[in-house]
Structure formats: C-alpha cells, structure tokens
Amino acid sequence: MPYMAINLGGVALGVGIVLTYLMRWVLREQRQPTALLPFVLAHLYGMLAALAALGSVSALGAVAWVTLWAANVAGYTALVWGVGGTAPDVTRAQQLPLTPGGYVIVFLLTCVLLALWKWAPKVSNGKLAAGAFSGIAVALSGNVAGIAAVPLGSSVNLLGSWFTQAFG
C-alpha cells in the first residue's frame, strides 16, 4: 500500500466537514441526537478504516488511501490556493496497529455500514459518506482528532480479542 500521510489541508478539510454537519445538526435538525448519530458512527468508522489500512493491502485499504489522497489534494488546494496558507505534513509519528481481532471488528463494522447504506431509508447516504471521509481525513493526524483514534483502535483491539476468544 502506498505511503499514508496527511497534510494540514486534509485535516482542515476533515474538520471542516465535521463543523458543517454540526452546524446542520444545530440549525436544521434541531439538535436531535438521532439525526447526528449516523454521521458520528460513520466518522468513527472512517477513523478505524484509516487505522486498518496501515500495513495491509486490501480493498478497504485502497479506498482509505484514495480518500486520504483526495482529502490531501482538496485540502492543500483550499489552504494554499484558496486562502494563501501552507499545508505541511501533520501525520502522527506513531500509529496504532490493529490486531487480528481488531480487523475482525472492522470487518463486522464494515458490514453494518454497508447495510445502513443499502437498507436504511431514513439514513442519508451522503451523511454516511461525509462521516467516513472526515474520519479518514483526521485519523492519522497528530492533533486531538488523530489522538482520538488511539483509544478507538485500542477499544476495537480489545473487542476483537474478546471475539477471538469466544469464537476462535
């Protein structure tokens, strides 16, 4: 898999998507928790997808890499050409690898996300896509959003170890 890194523009784009959906939730969806839940779950899934893509050659890894590349290009363009800033590399130095059980949990969550995408008529596919995109864009960064991926990955590894003990 190609080198996975994120620049400041990609992170800014991911955070911008989160802020946009938060404003939509406040102003248009009257702060109903059920309206924000699909975006948040897809965002967390995107963070896990980025962690799962590290060190593995897979279909999910390819999708995560392409998404990360798109976030970097769009964010760089917005920061450098849009507002005249810079977009340095902000990738966290130490990434958390998933265990074999952690990969099982990512696979099961992929099944759930695809089922929501296909069969949940009240869940906006755009909201799911934006959440996953923003999660991938911020997961590898060295800022607060990227650091949040560490306990998320640790939790998935723990759930995965319980899964492998129960079914392995």
* Averaged pLDDT of the chain: 91
User: Which 3-state string (H, E, C) describes 112-149?
Assistant: HHHHHHHHCCCCCHHHHHHHHHHHHHHHCECCHHHHCH
Residue closest to 46 by CA, chosen among 127, 138, 119: 138
List pLDDT tens digits, range 32-65: 999 999 999 999 999 999 988 876 788 998 999 9
pLDDT of residue 3: 67
Q: Is the pLDDT of residue 23 over 50?
A: yes
What would the mean pLDDT of 118-134 be, rounded to a whole number?
A: 95
Q: Is the pLDDT of residue 157 over 50?
A: yes
pTM assigned to the model: 0.92
pLDDT of residue 1: 46
Q: Is the pLDDT of residue 21 over 70?
A: yes
91: which strand partners?
141
Q: Is the pLDDT of residue 82 over 70?
A: yes
**Whole-angstrom distance, CA of residue 110 vs CA of residue 115:** 8
Most confident range (mean pLDDT) of 2-6, 41-45, 144-148 is 41-45
Q: What is the DSSP string of the chain?
A: ------BHHHHHHHHHHHHHHHHHHHHTSTT-HHHHHHHHHHHHHHHHHHHHHTT--SHHHHHHHHHHHHHHHHHHIIIIIISS----B-B-SSPPPPPHHHHHHHHHHHHHHHHHHHH-TTS-HHHHHHHHHHHHHHHTBSSHHHHTHHHHHHHHHHHHHHHHHHH-
pLDDT of residue 101: 94
